[in-house]
């Protein structure tokens, strides 16, 4: 614990966490704004449930492509350069969204924004994971993830104070602000020593993709992909529809924004408790426990029939679900060595984003078909339990380990790195 305290007293470590964390916060702000804008657009443009589902899902299509492309590029060209470019891409597309006059163009810009968002997240988590000692790695990445809650809180504040007065276009315009932050970030962060210190020639994409599916990493890759799919499917299916679900349950649009803001505040203690337990009790404990409690909360939320029960269930849903997200981002980079780490993280995140495409669009179809909210949240309960069971029975514990010291380094299809 003394070493951990010393770590956070170092200005360099604090600067890294804050710099990467703010970029993470802007990601969350952009995605959070979409959930609130979807509810406002439904009123302003008279969108049907299927269109809202498409609008929220198209963002995840871009994120799936962005995660795979950026993850691979970061292993070849560096974490810092790819982080900056993805930040610029999503902020520019978000700002341009404020000017659109048609639904099709808006969806196109949301795809481009999603590409940048999906690319930035796995690269940022890899950068932080590689830049701190093993005994603090999990805690550092979960604390990075806590900036996600800050971004959602900012999005909820924008929705509550800006959208009702200035409209949804103003919310999109605010989403262009991260482009200015990229100018600061260009000087504030550097590639991790683990990446810059590697003397081996950079592997091709085919070699990196083959490596994460080699016998040494195949089981971990399959487990990760199941985990990512179920978590992203349920998260985006539930949270991008949360304001709209509140309206379906009888709240006004403004009141639903207010209640979602309160629920979002519960994400912060979810992250902080996960950051504490992840180094005390391990990655598997945090993932399995928080996922199972998320599943119970989803079932509770879907069956809540009073304002008080709805709020309590929503707070628990935010607390445990985002704690699980923190654990997942901390765990994923620890399964692969430096040469293929960002590729492994990016591919897992990319597969997970397929769930993020299906989740919100499926909810749109089910709502349009007058399927009860109770049944919809039962689907998410089942999905989350599947993810928790995959971790419980097939995942390996990585607390205190160093993937660069494995007996099966990455590099070629047999898992052996060429000298």
pLDDT in tens, the chain (419 residues): 444 444 455 677 777 888 888 888 888 888 888 877 887 888 888 888 778 778 877 888 898 899 889 888 888 888 888 888 988 898 899 899 999 988 999 999 999 999 998 888 888 888 888 887 777 778 888 888 888 888 888 888 888 788 888 888 999 999 888 877 877 777 777 777 666 655 555 677 788 888 889 998 999 999 999 999 999 999 888 877 776 776 676 666 556 666 777 777 888 898 889 988 998 899 999 999 999 999 999 999 888 877 788 888 888 998 999 899 989 988 998 888 888 888 898 899 899 989 988 888 888 888 888 888 889 999 999 999 999 999 999 998 888 777 766 544 444 433 333 32
Contact 80, 189 (CB under 8 A): yes
* pLDDT on residue 316: 93
User: d(Cα 244, Cα 413) in Å, to the nearest integer?
Assistant: 47
Using an 8 Å Cβ cutoff, are 327 and 283 in contact?
yes
Instruction: For 36-75, write each residue's pLDDT tens digit.
Output: 788 788 888 888 877 877 887 788 889 889 988 988 888 8
Q: What is the pLDDT of residues 200-239, one digit of tens each?
A: 556 777 888 888 899 989 999 999 999 999 999 998 888 7
State the pTM of this model. 0.78
DSSP state of 336: S
Domain 8-186+201-405 has CATH 1.10.3210.10: no
How many CB atoms within 10 Å of residue 41?
Answer: 18
For residue 359, CA distances in Å to 56, 310, 314, 416 come to 9, 21, 18, 38
Token readout for 83 is 């982080």
Percent helix, strand and coil across the chain, each rounded to 5? Answer: 80, 0, 20
What phi and psi, each to the nearest 5 degrees, are found at residue 71?
-60, -45
Q: Which of 158, 50, 169 is nearest to 106 (CA)?
A: 169
Q: What are phi and psi of 24, to 5 degrees?
A: -65, -40
Identify the pLDDT of residue 404: 65
Task: Check residue 153 and give its pLDDT.
Answer: 82
The set of residues, in sequence order, having a beta carbon less than 8 Å from that of 362 and lying 6+ positions away, is 53, 237, 379
* Tokens standing for residue 236: 């985006």
How many other β-carbons are positioned within 10 Å of the β-carbon of residue 188?
16
CA distances from 165 to 22, 32, 161 (A): 27, 18, 7
DSSP 419: -
* 409 Ramachandran zone, left/alpha/beta (phi>0; psi -120 to 50): beta
Listing DSSP states for 228-294 in one string gives HHHHHHHHHHHHTTHHHHHHHTT--HHHHHHHHHHHHHTHHHHHHHHHHHHHHT-HHHHHHHHHHHH
Domain boundaries, the chain: 8-186+201-405
- Residue 198 is predicted with a pLDDT of 56
Kindly report the length of the chain.
Answer: 419
Among 74, 113, 107, smallest CA distance to 91 is for 113
- Asked whether the CA dihedral 5, 6, 9, 13 is positive or negative, the reply is negative
The answer to whether residues 274 and 294 touch, using CB atoms and an 8 Å cutoff, is no
Residues 88, 94, 99, 104: is their CA dihedral positive or negative?
positive
User: Considering only CA atoms, which of 223, 235, 344, 333 is closest in space to residue 290?
Assistant: 235
């Amino acid at each position: 614990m003394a070493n951990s305290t010393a770590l956070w007293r170092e200005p360099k470590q604090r600067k890294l966490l804050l710099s990467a964390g703010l970029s993470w916060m802007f990601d969350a702000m952009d995605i959070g704004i979409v959930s609130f804008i979807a509810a406002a657009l439904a009123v302003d443009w008279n969108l049907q449930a299927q269109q809202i589902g498409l609008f929220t899902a198209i963002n995840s299509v871009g994120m799936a492509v962005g995660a795979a492309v950026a993850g691979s590029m970061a292993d070849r060209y560096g974490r810092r350069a790819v982080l900056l470019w993805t930040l610029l891409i999503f902020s520019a597309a978000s700002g341009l969204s404020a000017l659109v006059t048609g639904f099709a163009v808006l969806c196109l810009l949301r795809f481009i924004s999603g590409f940048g968002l999906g690319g930035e997240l796995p690269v940022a988590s890899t950068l932080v994971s590689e830049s701190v000692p093993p005994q603090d790695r999990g805690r550092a990445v979960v604390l990075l993830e806590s900036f996600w809650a800050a971004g959602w809180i900012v999005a909820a504040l924008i929705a509550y104070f800006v959208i009702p007065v200035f409209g949804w276009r103003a919310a999109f315009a605010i989403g262009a602000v991260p482009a200015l932050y990229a100018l600061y970030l260009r000087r504030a962060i550097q590639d991790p020593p683990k990446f810059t210190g590697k003397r081996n020639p950079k592997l091709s994409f085919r070699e990196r993709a083959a490596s994460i599916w080699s016998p040494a990493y195949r089981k971990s890759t399959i487990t990760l992909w199941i985990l990512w799919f179920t978590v992203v499917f349920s998260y985006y299916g539930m949270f991008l529809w949360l304001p709209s679900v509140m309206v379906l349950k009888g709240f006004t649009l403004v009141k639903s924004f207010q209640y979602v803001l309160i629920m979002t505040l519960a994400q912060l203690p979810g992250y902080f408790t996960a950051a504490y337990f992840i180094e005390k009790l391990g990655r598997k404990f945090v993932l399995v426990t928080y996922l199972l409690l998320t599943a119970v909360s989803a079932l509770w939320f879907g069956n809540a029939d009073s304002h008080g029960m709805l709020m309590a269930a929503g707070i628990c849903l935010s607390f445990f679900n985002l704690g699980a997200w923190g654990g997942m981002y901390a765990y994923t980079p620890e399964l692969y060595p430096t040469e293929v780490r960002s590729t492994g993280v990016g591919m897992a995140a990319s597969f997970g984003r397929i769930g993020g495409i299906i989740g919100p669009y499926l909810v749109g179809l089910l709502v349009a078909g007058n399927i009860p909210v109770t049944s919809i949240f039962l689907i998410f309960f089942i999905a989350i339990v599947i993810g928790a069971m995959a971790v419980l029975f097939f995942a390996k514990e990585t607390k205190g380990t160093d993937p660069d010291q494995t007996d099966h380094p990455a590099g070629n299809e047999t898992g052996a790195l060429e000298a």
